[in-house]
Amino acid sequence: MSYPVRFVIVGSGGSTAQWCRGVLPKVIATNKAMPVAVADENPETLRQAQESLDLSAQQCFTNAAQAFDARRADFALILAPSQHHEQLVDLALRHDLHVLIDAPLADTMPSACRVYKQVRDSDKKLAVLMAHRYDQDKQTLLRLVEAREYGTLNYVSARSLHNCRGRGTWGRLRYDMPNPILVENAVHHFDLFRAISQSEPRIVHAVSWNPPWGDFRGDSTAIAVVEMENGVHCVYEGAAANAVTLNGWGKEYLRAECINGTLELNRRELRLMRGESFEEPRIAQLPLLDQPLWANAWLVDMFCDYINDAVKAPNRLKEVFPSMALTFAAAESARTGRAVDVQAYLKEQFKAA
């Protein structure tokens, strides 16, 4: 396969226009990838895609099957809601396409397991857009912890707090999901827990609920405690129906407690804190790493190399799947009120799918 790699954008999740304006032009500028079609049921999104990506009307379609049939491509970039992922992956594989798909992989664990097996049994590659881990601020924190600059890691705390209480504020379909805060939000933070701790999850205990003022059918608020296999503990606080967006998308809060320092990331500012008993902390601002591409643009760039057999993408299906297991194990814990053994849950669900 040669560069630029050709791809079809499959949207209708509300983020397609944002991708066409802000993400894909950066990737196209590297000459590694070239969009050959976009499929979205929203006419306005198709219009914006034409303008932002210099596509013709003949490259715009209202469904994925039409686009796959009409345009020769190497992979499908699936940005549709998670409820449609299994069907779209099946369609892409039947059209002999690799797949780069938005997180979460699917909206249920059985569906995620079926997707895994289908890709495993094909000759195609799939990677998941776990963009949070690959954003500039999180990568800086992650690499400092990995390098043990401040000693052994004890525990990690994360929060993602939003005022999306009004129906439609956070995408139409999430307001009808059983547990949108864990499945659609915490999945990214659980992936970060695995990366920062450099370990896999052992036990998760979660509680979730929806306050009366949240316009959700499912749970919009959750707290989870995860014990990793290496003994590191992680705490997640997520909410979509708060009075204010305190730490929204891209501006999350993460704190890594190490033996010789506290690393705190808050709204894209990273600082090191130290101090003796009962004294005010000594605070030092830390610079963020710099490179040409971050987050989703970086993941698309790496995926182009991955399907050209140049690298093994760190967000490939096998590497990301434990984050899916932790996410749905947390939802199961919240549903039952019991702690869940994540690895046992994964084996049970995979066998049943």
pLDDT in tens, 267-320: 999 999 999 998 999 999 999 999 999 999 999 999 999 999 999 999 999 999
Instruction: Note whether 141 and 277 are same-domain residues.
Output: yes
pTM for this entry: 0.95
Is residue 109 in a domain? yes
Is residue 346 in a domain? no
Instruction: Note whether 126 and 189 are same-domain residues.
Output: no
Phi-psi region of 198 (alpha: psi -120 to 50; beta: other; left: phi over 0): left
Q: Is residue 204 within a helix (H) or strand (E), and if so which, with residue range?
A: strand 201-209
Which CATH number does the domain housing residue 209 bear? Answer: 3.30.360.10
pLDDT in tens, 228-267: 999 999 999 999 999 999 999 999 999 999 999 999 999 9
Instruction: Note whether 52 and 141 are same-domain residues.
Output: no
Amino acid identity at 168 = G
Instruction: Note whether 144 and 288 are same-domain residues.
Output: yes
pLDDT of residue 168: 86
Instruction: Note whether 182 and 277 are same-domain residues.
Output: yes
pLDDT of residue 17: 82
In which domain, by residue range, is 59 found? 5-130+294-314
pLDDT of residue 12: 66
Instruction: Note whether 66 and 14 are same-domain residues.
Output: yes
Is residue 350 in a domain? no
What is the number of structural domains in the chain?
2
DSSP per residue, 31-92:
TSEEEEEEE-S-HHHHHHHHHHHT--GGGEESSHHHHHHHS--SEEEE-S-GGGHHHHHHHH
Flag residues of the chain having pLDDT under 50.
none
Q: What is the C-alpha to C-alpha distance for residues 194 and 198, in angstroms, rounded to an integer?
A: 6
Instruction: Note whether 280 and 153 are same-domain residues.
Output: yes
CA atoms within 13 A on the CB side of 78: 32
Instruction: Note whether 165 and 250 are same-domain residues.
Output: yes
Instruction: Note whether 90 and 153 are same-domain residues.
Output: no
Is residue 247 in a domain? yes
pLDDT of residue 146: 96
Is residue 218 in a domain? yes
Which CATH number does the domain housing residue 307 bear? Answer: 3.40.50.720
Is residue 162 in a domain? yes
For residue 319, what are the β-bridge partners? none
Q: What is the C-alpha to C-alpha distance for residues 114 and 97, in angstroms, rounded to an integer?
A: 18
Is residue 352 in a domain? no
Instruction: Note whether 206 and 100 are same-domain residues.
Output: no
Is residue 348 in a domain? no
Instruction: Note whether 253 and 282 are same-domain residues.
Output: yes
Instruction: Note whether 259 and 158 are same-domain residues.
Output: yes
